[in-house]
Amino acid sequence: MGLATPAWVADAVVAQVFPDRFRRSGRVAAQQDLELLSWGSPPEQRGFQGGDLLGVIEGLDRLQALGVTALSLNPVFASAAYHRYHTFEYFQVDPLLGGNGALAALIEAVHGRGMHLILDGVFNHCGRGFWAFHHLLENGEASPYRHWFHVEQWPLKPFPGPGETCGYHCWWNDPALPRFNHAHPGVRRYLLAVARHWLAAGIDGWRLDVADEVPADFWREFRETVRAERPDAWIVGEIWRDGRPWLEEPPLVDGGLFDGVMNYPLAWPVLGYFGAASLRSDLVLPALNSAPYQPLDRAAFERQVETVLGWYPAATRRAQLNLLDGHDTPRALHVLKGDTAALRLCLLFLFLLPGAPCLYYGTELELAGGPEPLCREAYPWERSPGPLADWISRLAALRRDQPALRSAELRFPPSPHDDLVLLERGAGRQRLWVAINRCDQALTVASPAGASRRLWPQTPDAAAGDGERSRDGEPGVVEVPGRSALILALEPAGAAPMPAGP
């Protein structure tokens, strides 16, 4: 039996939305008479700026105009942290976000537009205020929930002083984040009930936080629970490196523990090649304890991309979440030192990859926040979308209209220039040829046999121009202007022309 991954994911364009910083609706009753940070406060300032789920509904028009078809929300459950990774009640949407009713309204609004919604599942750890952990703090060893966590010594010290330890296992030695004991049946029942409950409420999948730190046998049961509740739900693991141990688990007849992972190992070569001239190569990511943004020549870029794609079978490649940045990395434009031309090429390649491209909120407005938490700026709604937003919407339209871009097949033909990467996408009649020039000067290259129609850049007449259409089986010569791309449709001999792109 082949891998069973949700078919809709290959067609998706995803937006990652950080709820507290996306949009404040002014209509959440729980926010009344509370002191919130002013909208647009410096992102390093600790506190809540008041974005809410009703605000996300208000922002759907703009997201959909970009071509977004799915939302991935950072955590929405009750928490004492603005980012909400410190969950204290998993069955309650944070009242500051509008509560359970606001999430229900968002699900209805998203589905009414033919879109999908996935939530962030923080199942490795909880917050200090989680009700079962609070029970330990109040009752000590007498608490019936004492084995829900990994206790090392009593009394517990959730706010340890200098030189003290908290007495329990916590995530990255942060006492605010007690780690669950996943071997305990009660913990499993609770967390699996959470997964089932929100799927029944209408969400379309789960993004799983720090998935590599949770035992695999829990994820196996989690997958079975999810599939039983919602067979086409998308399960995406936050894995920063090679995801094969979680995507090729043999005890499951339909594949691995997850459908896909957050494909960080593709983000780094994309930024490193197209942004080589402007890259901040000294940026260290704490999750890796290394600086992954390094300038690359074409050979190294192609080798890294082929390596990552080669890790996974075709069905898995089409279910990956591909991204350039997110809530715990510097924004791509910061990595590129503000080089928007390089960012355009990075986004272009992102939309050409197998799997679902993911846009971090505000990318289209050229937000350029640095390392966490600087990457968590408030969305500047007073700013109108400009050329980059138009670029993204055209990429989404191209991807939607060309099945080759939603396939699993990608290969790199030889290129005569280090600054010009060539690739072919798709198979059979649905094949595309792409040339991307990262330098400032125009470059020429032989077009492939069968090139019949220009899909990018779009022109009033999308037919192949002089030198693009092959004659008598011989390739023509095309020019690719500096910092731009050319995409041609490839036709088998004797085939009718493909329709033009957008």
Query: Is residue 495 domain-resident?
Result: no
Query: Is residue 501 domain-resident?
Result: no
Q: Measured between alpha carbons, how far is 413 from 213 in angstroms, rounded to an integer?
A: 39
Q: Measured between alpha carbons, how far is 269 from 304 in angstroms, rounded to an integer?
A: 7
Tell me: do 211 and 348 sit in the same domain.
Answer: yes
pLDDT digits (tens, 9 = 90+) for 115-156: 999 999 999 999 999 999 999 999 999 999 999 999 999 999
Beta carbons within 8 Å of 286's beta carbon, 6+ residues apart: none
Tell me: do 105 and 37 sit in the same domain.
Answer: yes
| Rounded to 5°, angle at Cα 32 from 31 and 35 | 70
pLDDT digits (tens, 9 = 90+) for 380-413: 999 999 999 999 999 999 999 999 999 999 999 9
Tell me: do 216 and 270 sit in the same domain.
Answer: yes
Distance of CA 320 to the CA centre of its chain: 9
H helix runs in 120-184, sequence order: 131-139
Q: Given this model, what pLDDT does residue 461 score?
A: 47
Which stretches does DSSP call E strand in 94-159? Answer: 116-121
The DSSP element (H or E) to which 272 belongs, if any, is helix 264-274
H helix runs in 277-408, sequence order: 298-310, 314-317, 332-335, 340-352, 387-401
* Low-confidence winner among 2-16, 50-64, 228-242, 384-398 (lowest mean pLDDT): 2-16
Q: Which residue has the tokens 């984040």?
A: 177
Q: Given this model, what pLDDT does residue 467 score?
A: 44
Tell me: do 155 and 264 sit in the same domain.
Answer: no
Q: Which residue has the tokens 């078809």?
A: 69
**Is residue 464 scored above 80 in pLDDT?**
no
Query: Is residue 353 domain-resident?
Result: yes
**Is residue 283 scored above 70 in pLDDT?**
yes
pLDDT band at 475 (very low <50, low <70, confident <90, very high): low
Tell me: do 309 and 440 sit in the same domain.
Answer: no
Q: What is the CATH number of the domain that holds 240?
A: 3.20.20.80
Q: How far is CA 451 from CA 51, 464, 480, in A?
A: 48, 8, 15
Among 401, 420, 435, give the residue marking a domain's end: 401
Q: How far is CA 354 from CA 243, 305, 343, 375, 435, in A?
A: 16, 11, 19, 26, 17
Give the pair of three-digit tokens for residue 54. 């009703």
Query: Is residue 496 domain-resident?
Result: no
Among 378, 401, 424, give the residue marking a domain's end: 401
Which among 20, 58, 204, 238 is annotated as catalytic?
Answer: 238
The DSSP element (H or E) to which 426 belongs, if any, is strand 420-427
Tell me: do 206 and 306 sit in the same domain.
Answer: yes
Tell me: do 231 and 134 sit in the same domain.
Answer: no
Query: Is residue 295 domain-resident?
Result: yes
Collapsed DSSP state (helix, strand, coil) of residue 208: strand
Domain holding 185, by residue range, is 7-124+180-401
Distance of CA 399 to the CA centre of its chain: 17
**Is residue 251 scored above 80 in pLDDT?**
no
Position 45: which residue type?
Q
Query: Is residue 498 domain-resident?
Result: no
Query: Is residue 497 domain-resident?
Result: no
Tell me: do 476 and 372 sit in the same domain.
Answer: no
Which among 94, 209, 259, 339 is annotated as catalytic?
Answer: 209
Tell me: do 175 and 83 sit in the same domain.
Answer: no
Q: Measured between alpha carbons, how far is 167 from 156 in angstroms, rounded to an integer?
A: 5
Q: Measured between alpha carbons, how far is 107 from 230 in angstroms, rounded to an integer?
A: 15
| Biggest CA-to-CA distance, the chain | 85
Which stretches does DSSP call E strand in 295-362? Answer: 321-323, 356-360
Q: Is 209 a catalytic residue?
A: yes
Q: Report how many domains make up the chain.
A: 3
pLDDT band at 250 (very low <50, low <70, confident <90, very high): low
Tell me: do 168 and 237 sit in the same domain.
Answer: no
Residue pair 74/113 in contact (Cβ under 8 Å)? The answer is no
Tell me: do 60 and 196 sit in the same domain.
Answer: yes
Among 401, 417, 435, give the residue marking a domain's end: 401
Tell me: do 65 and 154 sit in the same domain.
Answer: no
Q: Given this model, what pLDDT does residue 266 score?
A: 98
The average confidence (pLDDT) of the chain is 93
Q: Measured between alpha carbons, how far is 286 from 295 in angstroms, rounded to an integer?
A: 20
Q: Is 238 a catalytic residue?
A: yes
Query: Is residue 1 domain-resident?
Result: no
Q: What is the CATH number of the domain that holds 434?
A: 2.60.40.1180
Q: What is the CATH number of the domain that holds 138?
A: 3.90.400.10
